[in-house]
Amino acid sequence: MIPLAGVLLGVLAGLAFDVSVPLELQPYLPIAIVAALDAVFGGVRAVMEGIFNDKVFVVSFIANVLIAAFIVFLGDQLGVGSQLSTAVIVVLGIRIFTNVATIRRLVFHA
Amino acid sequence: MPDQEPRTDESTTGRKPPRFTPAAPSGLKRLWRALSKRPDTGHIGVGLLVGLLAFAAVVQVRADDDEALANARRDDLVQILDGLRRQSERLEDQVASLEADRRDLVSGADSETDALKQAQERARVVGVLAGTVPATGPGIIMTITDPDHRVNSVLMYSAIQELRDAGAEAIQILGDGNDSAVRVVHDTYFLGPEDGAMNIGGTMVEPPYNVVAIGDPGTLAGAMSFTKGIVSRIEDQKAQATVTEYNELTVDVLHEPQPHQYARPAPEDEDD
């Protein structure tokens, strides 16, 4: 219930306030969003498997975002920022696919 | 993961499992139960984080809408710049070649216009010669009143020949008797007179004749009226011939050129 309300509130707030992304955050925000998406899908999967734990979710969410942003930051410092962000996106994309595949199996039993 | 089941399946014990469904409650059921469960303080953090994610996603999507390049990395920017530079080089090449084409076309059009002008000028000159265009200029009109029809074709031909010798450039003969008019050109012939009319180039012309010739008026008049010349020969035939000089005359009778049956233009020399 509360998470759903959170999603709705977040979308509405994003639409209502015309916030421009701070310049120094711009390279990291997309990666952070994908990492957070991975955490959210993992959470949904955990709920459907009956093993959801809010503490685990919060920690994995924040850790995912921070690690992804840090990897990109590190890549930028090393001069391989675009390659590393691609790598992060690929890994996170694979994880999201795996999570969604599990959710799909749980929903359709197929 | 059956070992972790006991945590959330407290309400599934009385439920008889249908065929082909796992004994544990299905994922959808668990999701629905989680959503409809009484709010739990532990979920506030989850809600906050998920809301933050939604907010950030919306902000990012909206930012992407208006500033596509602002989020691009330096490498990407360099690549985009390179692509644009290559594109602009290609376009500049294209512009250069198109401008060269345009120059060619313009100069070609100029030379074509010149050629057209020259051809038109030549056509006008040749047309005066061939009698296909009207001609204007100084000249004379020789009026021959011939009430007895004694001026014959030979005499008329001699008059035309004298006029040509004197430099007449365009000649027409008007027959005031029957309002006929003939442009005299290279192949005009003279027959008769028969029944009071002379056949000039296929047209029956009745006297009095008006011979209009364009050329130097003094020379033409002199060529007509010298001693034992045309005028005196006409007067020998009991006819009257008067020559009047004009500063401005128009020869406006046109000759219909017939297509040549045998002669066709010979090919020009290669080095011409």
Q: Rounded to an integer, what distance in angstroms lies between the CA atom of residue B152 and that of residue B146?
A: 10
Please answer yes or no on whether B54 and A4 come within 8 Å at the CB atom: no
pLDDT at B23: 52
pLDDT at B9: 43
Query: Is residue B68 scored above 70 in pLDDT?
Result: no
Structure tokens at A93: 């994309």
Residue of chain B with shortest Cα separation from A4:
B47
Mean pLDDT, chain B, rounded, equals 79
**Residue B84 belongs to a domain:** no
Q: End-to-end CA distance of chain B: give it in Å, rounded.
A: 102
Q: How many domains does the structure of chain A reveal?
A: 1
pLDDT at B5: 42
Please answer yes or no on whether B28 and A48 come within 8 Å at the CB atom: yes
**Residue A6 belongs to a domain:** no
What is the arithmetic mean of pLDDT over A43-52?
Answer: 86
The rounded percent of chain A whose pLDDT value lies above 70 is 99
Which residues on B lie below 8 Å from A14 (Cβ)?
Answer: 54-59, 62
**Residue A15 belongs to a domain:** no
Structure tokens at B60: 């990012």
**Angle subtended at Cα B192 by Cα B187 and Cα B197, rounded to the nearest 5 degrees:** 105
Q: Rounded to an integer, what distance in angstroms lies between the CA atom of residue B26 and that of residue B30?
A: 6
**Residue A8 belongs to a domain:** no
**Residue B153 belongs to a domain:** yes
Domain that holds residue A65: 23-108
**Residue A43 belongs to a domain:** yes
Q: How many domains does the structure of chain B reveal?
A: 1
> Residues B133-151: pLDDT tens digits?
888 888 888 888 877 777 7
Please answer yes or no on whether A50 and B7 come within 8 Å at the CB atom: yes
Side chain identity at residue B213, one-letter code? A
Please answer yes or no on whether A109 and B70 come within 8 Å at the CB atom: no
pLDDT at B251: 81
Its pTM stands at: 0.42
CB B214 within 8 A of CB B168: yes
Query: Is residue B121 scored above 80 in pLDDT?
Result: yes
The rounded percent of chain B whose pLDDT value lies above 70 is 85
Which residues on A lie below 8 Å from B51 (Cβ)?
Answer: 5-7, 9-10, 13
CB B170 within 8 A of CB B220: no
Selecting from B44, B50, B63 the residue whose C-beta is nearest the C-beta of A40 gives B50
> Residues B180-226: pLDDT tens digits?
888 888 778 888 777 777 888 778 888 788 888 888 888 878 887 77
> Residues A75-108: pLDDT tens digits?
888 888 888 888 999 999 999 999 999 988 888 8
pLDDT at B67: 60
CB B181 within 8 A of CB B174: yes
- Which among A7, A49, A48 has a CA at the least distance from the CA of B31? A48
Q: What is the CATH number of the domain that holds B222?
A: 3.30.70.1880
Instruction: Suggest the residue from A11, A28, A54 to mutate for an interface test with chain B (most B CBs closer than 10 A).
Output: A54
Domain that holds residue B153: 135-251
> Residues B251-269: pLDDT tens digits?
888 878 778 788 887 887 6
Side chain identity at residue B33, one-letter code? R
pLDDT at B99: 95
Instruction: Suggest the residue from B41, B58, B79 to mutate for an interface test with chain A (most A CBs closer than 10 A).
Output: B58
Rounded to two decimals, the ipTM of the complex is 0.81
| Total residues found in chain B within this entry | 272
Residue of chain A with shortest Cα separation from B36:
A1
Helix (H) or strand (E) holding B32: helix B27-36
**Residue A99 belongs to a domain:** yes
> Residues B5-41: pLDDT tens digits?
444 444 444 455 555 555 556 677 777 777 777 777 7
